[in-house]
Structure 1
Amino acid sequence: MRPKVLLSWSSGKDSAWALHVLRQRGEVEIVGLVTTLNEAFGRVAMHGVRAELVRAQAEAAGLPLWAVPLPWPCSNDQYESRMRGLVERARAAGVSGLAFGDLFLADVRAYRERQLAGSGIEPLFPLWGSPADTPALAREMIGAGLRATLSCVDPKQLTRQLVGREFDARLLAELTPGADPCGENGEFHTFCYAGPMFDRPIPMRVGDTIERDGFCFADLLPGAAPE
């Protein structure tokens, strides 16, 4: 019997690609997608994606969504308390692993490992590599049919005009020199709406651009774009 594993789900391309990779390897059984949602706004933290779109992703992936509601504002203690509740629920369901789509940020990985140490839940990093790997990884995602839209851009690192753009070869060519092609340093975040991890595309259209807390967000709306 394969170990039961949850996948941390940001709604972006990296978590979506991690799902695809884990399923291809076939070593574990993915039993759910874990998403933290802002209770006040009903959106994914940092990505700003509406909960309705995340639920549509889970349905297209054929997996239940394990939503973790977070207060706003949310202290680190409150966050860790909610995540401890998730771990308890996971253990009760026979889950033995929690996978993440992290690519190379060692401090982020170390934090996750510390938080799960002694919990009975093993952290997994199926995409882990180095900054040198991400140009090829970005091209591999696009070549395999992954489709994503930039839901958030850090204007201190990239031009704000990129928010709402497609994550495609043209975008990769236009990134600021030194920017990570997968946005691993926080340059941008994405919403993945199609790819080999889904059984159907998620209908979505790009709404207004909103600037908040020093970031630029595209308000992504459920439903296909008008003809």
Structure 2
Amino acid sequence: MKKRIALSWSGGKDGCMALHSLTKQGHEIVCLITTVPSEIGRTFGHGEKTEAIKCQSDALGIPVHFIECTFEGYTQSFIDSLIKLKEKYALTSVAFGDLYLDGHRNWGEEVTKAAELEAIYPLWMEKQHAPLALQAFVDSGYKAVIIRIKEEVLEESWLGQEIDQQFVENIKDKNVCPMGEAGEYHTFVYNGPLFMKEIGFKFGDKLQLETTKRLELEDMRLLKK
């Protein structure tokens, strides 16, 4: 049965692979959903600019809905938004790109249940299979760069690196999840099989945050493929 799915979207490789997997199975991703603190204009998860997420939405041809929320009211805002989107798009399900963290899955299943929707985790796996998932992304044809790193585990030089075969080899030497599931690094996907247009950009400033460092992407634009 073909499902109508809202996909939780932070702009990185995991959400992209969830999109790819579900589309390949014949389901329809009717919208992307991204949480943002209402006063900041950046995403809750990775601190990405909302304009960057909108650019991905346009490149993919899938509408994105920003869920404005506070830390204290995060869960209820998410549920309320799902209920509205269910009516607007006749949703059957909500998909998440989590890999193996039970706490993340438990939360996702609770909020979708509250909205009377199905929770889907198309990438769910055992932790030891993370290296295979990284290789699958590299082999998929999607293109992504590292935009944020956790400084206690990765050096600043990792910012801006492509997620390619060289990255697969280099990350093996680090005591981290190769997929960055514990927040060791975050990515931005800018091209691939489902992208109708490529996203062009330039590297901007490197921002020092509390325990992480992020690379700003500037001059974002859609390019013909």
Please report the TM-score for the alignment, with normalisation by the length of structure 1. Answer: 0.90
- From 92, 104, 107, give the equivalent of 1:108: 104
Count of residue pairs brought into register by the alignment: 219
- From 153, 165, 175, give the equivalent of 1:157: 153
SS at match of 2:99: coil
Q: Which runs of 5+ in 2 are unaligned?
A: none
SS at match of 1:11: coil
- Deviation (angstroms), 1:96: 1.6
- Indicate how the Cα distance of structure 1 residues 84 and 210 shifts in structure 2: closer, same or farther if over 3 A, else same: same
Greater relative CO (CA pairs within 8 A, separation 6+): 1
Aligned-partner Cα distance in 2 for 1:201–1:13: 15
For the 8 Å contact 2:153–2:175, the answer to whether it is kept is: no
Q: Percent identity?
A: 29
- From 57, 64, 77, give the equivalent of 1:82: 77
Aligned-partner Cα distance in 1 for 2:121–2:79: 20
Aligned-partner Cα distance in 1 for 2:194–2:96: 15
Q: For residue 7 of structure 2, what is the amino acid of its counterpart?
A: L
For the 8 Å contact 1:3–1:29, the answer to whether it is kept is: yes
Partner of 1:130: 126
Please, which moves more after superposition, 98-107 or 165-174? 165-174
Q: For residue 76 of structure 2, what is the amino acid of its counterpart?
A: S
CA RMSD of aligned residues (A): 1.6
Partner of 1:193: 190
- Indicate how the Cα distance of structure 1 residues 53 and 88 shifts in structure 2: closer, same or farther if over 3 A, else same: same
Q: For residue 39 of structure 1, what is the amino acid of its counterpart?
A: S
SS at match of 1:140: helix
Note if 1:55 corresponds to 2:45.
Answer: no
For the 8 Å contact 2:144–2:187, the answer to whether it is kept is: yes
- Deviation (angstroms), 1:118: 4.1
Partner of 1:173: 169
Please report the TM-score for the alignment, with normalisation by the length of structure 2. Answer: 0.91
Aligned-partner Cα distance in 2 for 1:132–1:88: 36
For the 8 Å contact 1:153–1:162, the answer to whether it is kept is: yes
- Deviation (angstroms), 1:144: 1.8
Deviations 1:25-49 (A, max 9, x none): 11x2210000112333311224222
SS at match of 2:199: coil
Aligned-partner Cα distance in 2 for 1:23–1:86: 23
